[in-house]
Amino acid sequence: MIASQKSVVNMDWAGAGAPEAPSAPESLRQAGLSLNFLNDLLLRTLYVQGVMLGLDLARSVCLPFKVIEESLRFLKDEKCVEVQGGDLIGRVSYRFQLTELGRRRAQDSMKQCAYIGPAPVPLEDYVEQTYRQAVTGISCSPERLRAAFSHLVLKEEMYSTLGPAIVSGRSVFIYGPPGNGKTSIARAIGEFMNNAGGEIYVPYAFLAENSIITVYDQALHQLADHHESDRVEDNEATIRRLLNSGTVDARWVKIHRPVVVTGGELTLDALDLRFNADANFYQAPIQVKANGGVLLIDDFGRQLCSPKELLNRWILPLEDRHDFLTISSGKKFEVPFEQLIIFSTNLDPKDLVDDAFFRRIRHKVSIDAPERVIYEKIFNAMVKRLGMNPCPEAVNFLYERYYSNGRNPRASDCRDLLEIVQAICRFRRQPVQLTRDLMAEAATSFICEF
């Protein structure tokens, strides 16, 4: 692989932890690509798209025209590409099409790899950029954290526990009985990182061991509002961008810090490269797509694979902050393991992890049953949200009948019971209101006593 000689473009961003943007390459060498690789990519693009302007070719592979110009000249000399004249704009307006020889070579290339799209960045650049925009660079103060968690009712001590965990950018283990907000807290951490953590860059794809690995995922990565792809750009503006120096490398996508959530559906296969056998390239696993953001393993212990298998897979990445991926030939390469990973479970941690793994998780957060004062705050907030009347007698009934007689209160009981009261009122075609008797009726339906 050709070594990359990249620089960065300073961007004046608001927000914490804003990294520098990769600058567009000035040459094929700076792009980290070989001439043969780019030749094949352009041949495949022309084979699928047909006749294309030089401008459109450059835009398709996300490289400046001066970078692909060498390759186009080579393909023309090899009689693989025919060039038709353009208008007065220059060579970027020339029309390029495959010759019969070019079509045969494109077909051969498609058999080897059918990837078409933005040119990949070299692995070295991906690694460098990922560590530059690490989650440990995020600014988090008590005031900002309280604002992000304002929709939740938490004990004051919880902020003192969660804040350092976010700042550290390491791993968090959230555990406790069901129904008390573990998932809500974990998702709130993700939303804080997504909204207040600044913006980062991820590549459409990177090149490792001569294999293409796609990273950008529309389903997981939220584009920054002012990303270049959101702008309507005329051809003249595009030409200036593709010809001028000092612009941002279009092979990278500016996004908010990602939040990747997985639960009981997680398998070990999802942690390895996913090979597209028809097209002969790879898709990055979830932990790579989560780099720079949050990876939430919800309902930990209920995955299709055993907790021991999952933990053995991640025990070294958690310690060393890097992982190893393997391509089909058996070759391995190293990638960053650079995200805030959160394990959330309502199972007993002693049944899930051993001391060796638990030691590698920096922060342990226990979410217990709420005290009455917290329960009442949650209950009253839900009453207000549902447009009901305050009714302290309803809470008194729950404690007298259930919570003082062996059943632990759950934060989720407030929502579930009040929604049942709401449903009862609507069914009876009466105004939605809260009374002690309606709460008793709802509790009889919801709280099973065996």
CATH number (domain holding residue 102): 1.10.10.10
- Whether residue 64 is contained in a domain is answered as yes
- Amino acid identity at 226: H
- Whether residue 27 is contained in a domain is answered as no
Residue 219 and residue 250 in one domain? yes
- Whether residue 190 is contained in a domain is answered as yes
- Whether residue 151 is contained in a domain is answered as yes
Residue 54 and residue 100 in one domain? yes
Whether residue 277 contacts residue 113, with contact meaning beta carbons closer than 8 Å, is answered with no
Residue 390 and residue 300 in one domain? no
Alpha carbon 240 to chain centroid, angstroms: 32
Report strand pairing: 294-297 vs 340-345. parallel
- Whether residue 184 is contained in a domain is answered as yes
Q: Which of 345, 391, 417 has the alpha carbon at shortest distance from 409?
A: 417
- Name residue 428's beta-bridge partners: none
Cα–Cα dist 330/324, whole Å: 12
For the chain, how many structural domains are there in total? 3
pLDDT score of 59: 94
pLDDT score of 21: 87
Residue 359 and residue 403 in one domain? no
Residue 190 and residue 166 in one domain? yes
- Report how far apart, in Å, the C-alpha atoms of 219 and of each of 216, 259, 287 are: 9, 11, 15
* Token pair belonging to 359: 């030691």
Backbone φ, ψ for residue 59 (5° rounding): -70, -35
Residue 272 and residue 418 in one domain? no
- Whether residue 17 is contained in a domain is answered as no
pLDDT score of 226: 54
Report strand pairing: 8-9 vs 52-53. unpaired
* Token pair belonging to 247: 């612009």
Within 10 angstroms of residue 317's Cβ, the number of other Cβ atoms is 20
Residue 65 and residue 114 in one domain? yes
Q: What is the pTM of this model?
A: 0.84
- Whether residue 299 is contained in a domain is answered as yes
- Which residue among 334, 366, 398 closes a domain? 366
Residue 147 and residue 198 in one domain? yes
CATH number of the domain that residue 182 is part of: 3.40.50.300
Q: Three-state SS across the chain?
A: CCCCCCCEECCCCCCCCCCCEEECCCCHHHHCCCHHHHHHHHHHHHHHHCCEEHHHHHHHHCCCHHHHHHHHHHHHHCCCEEEECCCCCCHHHCEEEECHHHHHHHHHHHHHCCCCCCCCEEHHHHHHHHHHCCHHHCCCCHHHHHHHCCCCCCCHHHHHHHHHHHHHCCEEEEECCCCCCHHHHHHHHHHHHHHHCCEEEEECEEEECCEEEECCCCCCCCECCCCHHHCCCCHHHHHHHHHCCCCECCCEEEEECCEEEECCCCCHHHHCCEEECCCCEEECCHHHHCCCCEEEECCCCCCCCCHHHHHHHHHHHHHHCEEEEECCCCCEEEEECCCEEEEEECCCHHHCCCHHHHHHCCEEEECCCCCHHHHHHHHHHHHHHCCCCCCHHHHHHHHHHHHCCCCCCCHHHHHHHHHHHHHHHHHCCCCCCCCHHHHHHHHHHHCCCC
Whether residue 379 contacts residue 412, with contact meaning beta carbons closer than 8 Å, is answered with no
Residue 136 and residue 106 in one domain? no
Within 10 angstroms of residue 404's Cβ, the number of other Cβ atoms is 11
Cα–Cα dist 320/420, whole Å: 49
The boundaries of the domain holding residue 418 are: 372-446
Cα–Cα dist 61/68, whole Å: 9
Residue 234 and residue 267 in one domain? yes
Which residues are CB-contacts of 247 (< 8 A; sequence separation ≥ 6)? 9, 23, 24, 64, 241
Residue 305 and residue 378 in one domain? no
Give me the tens of pLDDT residue by residue for the chain, a chain 450 residues long: 344 444 444 333 334 446 788 999 999 999 999 999 999 999 999 999 999 999 999 999 999 999 999 999 999 999 999 988 765 456 778 899 999 999 999 999 999 999 999 999 999 999 999 999 988 868 888 888 888 888 888 888 888 888 888 888 888 889 988 888 888 888 888 888 888 888 999 999 999 999 999 999 999 999 986 544 444 455 555 555 555 556 899 999 999 999 999 988 888 888 999 999 889 999 999 999 999 999 999 888 888 888 888 888 888 888 888 999 999 889 999 999 999 999 998 888 878 877 777 777 888 888 999 999 999 999 999 999 999 999 999 999 999 999 999 899 999 999 999 999 999 999 999 999 999 999 999 999 898 654
- Name residue 340's beta-bridge partners: 294
- Which residue among 68, 85, 118 closes a domain? 118
- Whether residue 257 is contained in a domain is answered as yes
Residue 80 and residue 221 in one domain? no
- Report how far apart, in Å, the C-alpha atoms of 56 and of each of 50, 263, 434 are: 11, 41, 64
- Which residue among 311, 345, 366 closes a domain? 366
